[in-house]
Amino acid sequence: MKSEYLRFRRTISLSFRQVNKYRILLFIISMFVCLSIVGCSCSEGFGTGPTPFFPVERDHGSFSVYMQARAEGRLILKEGCLRLKRLFGESQLIIWPHGYELRIEEKTIQVIDADGRMVARVGDWIEVGGGESKSVEHIEDYIGQSLPPDCAGPYWIAGPIEK
């Protein structure tokens, strides 16, 4: 009687171990799938593709005037364009001040000011001065180039960012 009980216990114990192995394996596979999905969706298409469109105002010499409105929101990359996503409403394509440039380090997109300081990264909450424009012709004249079709308005013409 005692030997039957021990054999029964060993059998149950082995089946629980096998089930736990399968659960652990399933958990590990699930984690890999989740991480790959999250990794792909966070960059919104960035990584192996072309450099994001980064419109900067043309050089107006020593005379630059900026609008004085204020906007705040998250700096996002959407369809290859850096945009300001506010809490409410649609996102705006940012037109950066003259001298600003884009830098990419280890898949992190950074905005560098005219003095070489990093002022923002994709995903940061930023505050920018400036003003809104909805005129494509005005923006194309302001930056001196055509806008890609994926980078539709509205547009935020940014003043220098203080950090």
* Domains in the chain: boundaries: 1-42, 69-158
Tell me which H or E stretch contains 154: none
Length of the chain, in residues: 163
What are all long-range contacts of 113-118, with beta carbons under 8 Å and residues at least 24 apart?
A: 113/160, 113/161, 113/163, 114/160, 117/163, 118/163
The pLDDT assigned to 17 comes to: 59
pLDDT digits (tens, 9 = 90+) for 60-83: 655 566 677 888 999 999 999 999
% of the chain exceeding 90 in pLDDT: 32
| Predicted TM-score (pTM) above 0.75 | no
